[in-house]
Amino acid sequence: MSRKLKANILSISLSLLTTIILTSLLLIIIGKNPITIYGTLISEVFGTGYGLGQALFKATPLIICGLGLALCFQASLFNIGAEGQLNIGAFVMSFVAYNLDDYLGIMVIPVAIAAGFVMSALWGLIPAFLKIKRGVSEVITTIMMNFIALALVNYLLIEFIAVKSTVRTERILDTVFIPKLSDISSVFQGSSANMTFFFAILLAVFMYFIFYKTRYGYEIRSVGLNPTASRYLGVKTNRIILWSFLIGAGITSLVGVNFIFGYKGYYELGFSNNIGFTAIAVTLLAKNNPIGIIFTAFLFGVLDYGGLAVNTLVPKEIMLVFQALVILSILAVDKVVKIYYLKED
Amino acid sequence: MIESILSLTFLAQVLRMFTPYYLGASAANFSERGGVINIAIEGFMIISAFSYAFFTITFGNPFVSLLLTIIVSLLFSLLYALLTIKLKINQIVTGVGFNLLMAGTAKFLIMFFYQSSSNTPNFQPLPGLPFISDIPVIGKAAGDYIIVFGFILIFISQFVLFRTRFGLRLRSVGENPEAAETLGVGVRVYKLYGVLVCGVLSSLGGIWLASNQGSFSDGMIAGRGYIAIAAMIIGKWKPVNIFFACLMFAFFEGLEITLQITGSFLPSQIVQMLPYVITVLVLIGFIGKTRPPAADGVPY
C-alpha cells in the first residue's frame, strides 16, 4: 500500500471519527444519549430491507450528482451550480417525458434523458464560457445561475405547465416507469429504491475508467493540477475545461431519472432538496474518486434516512449538522495529515 | 404602478431592504480586501439571525442579545480563520461547508428549542432611535439603529480602507502578501482582522433581518448573503460603488414586493431573477472589467 493511499484512508477514518465525536458532544450537551441514537439509526437502516432500500434510494441521486461534480472538480472547476443545472435538466426531462410517452412508449426514457442532459449542459455553458473567455471565477457565476435557474423553472412551471393548484408537472404513464428494486426482491418491499441505483453504480465504474485509465482522464486531471504546465505539454486546456464543465453539468440532470422515472413520475418544485450542495460534500469526501463517491453517497443516504428513523429521539435535522461536520472535518483532518504524516507544505 | 414606486413608502422600503445587502457586501469586502474569500456570508447571516432570535426570546434585552450574537458570529469567524488562514484550506470549499453547517444548525435548533420546523416565536424588535422613529412613514426606517449604521458604514469603510494605516496594510495583504511581509506587515494577522470584521458586519445583517421580522424563520435570509457578494463584485470592491449596487438590488426587491401587492405585467419570478441576471451580465463585461484583489483566495 502506498503512503499516499494510507494517508487517504487515515484521513477519511479520522475525519469520520472527529465528526462522530463532535456530534456526540452536541447530543450530550442537549441531554441525549448518543449511543441510543446511533444504535437506533444503525438498527433501523441495516436491520430492515425497507430501511436499507430507502438509504439506497436517497444515495442514488447523490452518487449521480457527485459524479457530475467529480468531473468538474477533477479539472479544478468549482461548480457550485449543480442545484440549478439539475433542476433545469430534470424539469425539461419530465416535460419531454409526459408529452411524448404516448408516442414513444418505453423509448421516451432515453429521449427525455438526452433532452435533460443537453439542457443542463447548456446551463453550464455560461459559466464555462465566462471562465475561458473572461477569466471570471466559475464559483460566483454558478451561484448566480442557481438562483436564475430556480426562478426560471418556478416561473415556467407555475405560469404555464403545472397541473392546476399543484407545483408539479403532469405524471408520466405507468408503463414507462423504471422497475423498483422491490419488483426483483421482496426484501426491499415498500421502499422507493429503483433500478436507477444500478445505473448510478455503472456510471461510477465508467467514470472511474475514464478518469484513471484513459488519455482524456489523464488530461482532465493534469489541467486540474496545473493548467499552465498542461498547456505547454500540448493539452488543449480550454477545450478540456469547456467539455468537463458541459458534461459534468449534463450528468447532474440524471438525478431526475431517479425521481421522475423511478419514483413520482413528475417534476416537482423543491424535489432536489439541496442535492446539488450535499453532493459537493459527498464528492469532496470521496476525493473526487468515482468509486469512493458510491460509498460516501451511501453514507449520506444512511444519514438522510437515518435522520427520519431517529426523529422520535432527536430532531432529524441533527443529520444536517452531521453532514456539514463531515465535510469540515475531512477538510481539516486532510490538511493535518498532509502536514504531519506526509510532511507536505 | 408608477405612483406606488414614487411614494415615500416605497423609498422607506428600499432603505430597509438596502441595509442587509450593504452590511453583507461590506462584510465580504473587508474579508476579500485581505485576500480571504468568504462565500459563507449567507450562513453567517442565518446563524446570527437565529442566535439573535434565541437570545432575545430567552433574555429579553435586545442590546445584550445583539452583543451575544456578535460574539457567536466572531467564534464562527475564528473557526473559519483557523481553517482558511492557519490550515490554508481552500476557501470556497470551506465556505460551502460553513453554509451547510450554519443553515443545518439553525434548522436543528429551532426544532429542538421551539418544536417547529419553520420558525421561532415572535419577539420585540430592536427599539428605534428616540424622536426620529416617531416621524410618519419613513420614521421606522430612518430611526433604526442598524439602518443608520448601514449608511454611516459607507463613510467608515471608505475611510478605513483608504485613509488609515490599517486599511493600507489590509489591502496590501490582499494584493501582494509577499511584498507586505517584506515590509514587516503580519500577513496572517491582517487576514484574521479582515475575517473578524466580516463576521461582525454580516452578523449585523442577520440581526437586522430577524429584528425587522420579529422572529426567525427557516429560509428567511433567502439568498441575501449571495446577493451581497454579487453586489461587492459589481461594486468592484469599492465601498461607494458597492453602495450603488446594493441600492439597485434593494430597488428590485422593493419592486418585487410592490408588484406582488399591486400586480403587474411583469411576473414576480422574473423580477426576482433580475439581480442575478444583472450580475452575470456585469461579469460578461457589459459594465467594464471587474478586478478582484490580486491575491484574493490565495492562501498564504
Query: Nearest CA to CA, how far is A134 from chain B (Å)?
Result: 7
Residue B241: band (very low, low, confident or very high) from pLDDT cuts 50, 70, 90: very high
- What pLDDT, on the 0 to 100 scale, is given for residue B187? 95
- Candidates A140, A151, A321; nearest CB to B233: A140
Q: Over the stretch A257-301, which tens digit does the pLDDT of each residue have?
A: 999 999 999 999 999 988 999 999 899 888 899 999 999 999 999
- Are B43 and B223 in contact by the 8 Å Cβ rule? The answer is no
Cα separation, B225 vs B206, whole angstroms: 9
pLDDT at residue A156 is higher than 70 = yes
Q: Is B222 exposed, middle or buried (0-12, 13-18, 19+ CB in 10 A)?
A: middle
Query: Nearest CA to CA, how far is A91 from chain B (Å)?
Result: 17
- Candidates A144, A280, A328; nearest CB to B101: A328
Q: Over the stretch A323-338, which tens digit does the pLDDT of each residue have?
A: 899 889 988 998 999 8
Q: Over the stretch B182-229, which tens digit does the pLDDT of each residue have?
A: 999 999 999 999 999 999 999 999 999 999 999 999 989 988 998 899
At A268 the three-state DSSP class reads: strand
- What pLDDT, on the 0 to 100 scale, is given for residue B286? 67
Cα separation, B290 vs B300, whole angstroms: 23
Alpha helices in chain A, H assignment, sequence order: 3-29, 34-46, 49-74, 82-104, 108-129, 138-156, 181-184, 196-213, 215-225, 227-232, 237-252, 255-259, 275-285, 290-309, 318-340
Residue A6 in any domain: the answer is no
- What pLDDT, on the 0 to 100 scale, is given for residue B4? 64
Closest CA to B45 of B250, B208, B154, B239: B208
User: Mutate which of B32, B93, B224 to disrupt the A interface (most A C-beta within 10 Å)?
Assistant: B93
pLDDT at residue B263 is higher than 80 = no
Residue A127: closest C-alpha in chain B: B280
- Candidates B93, B270, B285; nearest CB to A284: B93
A339: its cell numbers: 502536514
Residues composing chain A: 345
pLDDT, mean of residues B161-184: 95
Residue A292 in any domain: the answer is no
Give chain A's contact residues with B (Cβ, < 8 Å): 30, 78, 80, 126, 130, 134, 136-137, 139-141, 143-145, 147-148, 151-152, 154-155, 158-159, 277-278, 280-281, 284, 314-315, 317-318, 320-321, 323-325, 327-328, 331-332, 335-336, 345
Residue A22 in any domain: the answer is no
Q: Burial code of A241-259, b = ≥16 C-beta within 10 A, e = fewer?
A: bbbbbbbbbbbbbbbbbbb
Residue A106 in any domain: the answer is yes
Residue A336 in any domain: the answer is no
Cβ-Cβ contacts under 8 Å, B90 against chain A: 331
Give residue for cell 459534468.
Answer: A248
pLDDT at residue A22 is higher than 90 = yes
Of A38-47, A126-135, B107-116, the least confident:
A126-135
B100: its cell numbers: 451547510
Residue A7 in any domain: the answer is no
ipTM score: 0.89
B286 touches chain A (CB under 8 A): no
Q: Residue A315: which residues within 8 A CB-CB, separation 6 or more?
A: B108, B111, B112
- What pLDDT, on the 0 to 100 scale, is given for residue B273? 86
Q: Do A148 and B99 touch (CB under 8 A)?
A: no
Alpha helices in A130-226, H assignment, sequence order: 138-156, 181-184, 196-213, 215-225
If one counts the domains in chain A, the total is 1
- What pLDDT, on the 0 to 100 scale, is given for residue B262? 74
At B162 the three-state DSSP class reads: helix
Helix (H), strand (E) at residue A248: helix A237-252
- What pLDDT, on the 0 to 100 scale, is given for residue B11? 87
A224: its cell numbers: 486540474
Residue A345: band (very low, low, confident or very high) from pLDDT cuts 50, 70, 90: low
pLDDT, mean of residues A41-65: 95
- Candidates A323, A324, A332; nearest CB to B89: A332
Which domains, and CATH codes, for chain B?
A: 2-284 (1.10.3470)
Q: Do A159 and B83 touch (CB under 8 A)?
A: no
Residue A35 in any domain: the answer is no
B240 touches chain A (CB under 8 A): no
pLDDT at residue A245 is higher than 80 = yes
Write out the residue range of the structural domain in which residue A221 sits. 59-283
Q: Is B54 exposed, middle or buried (0-12, 13-18, 19+ CB in 10 A)?
A: buried
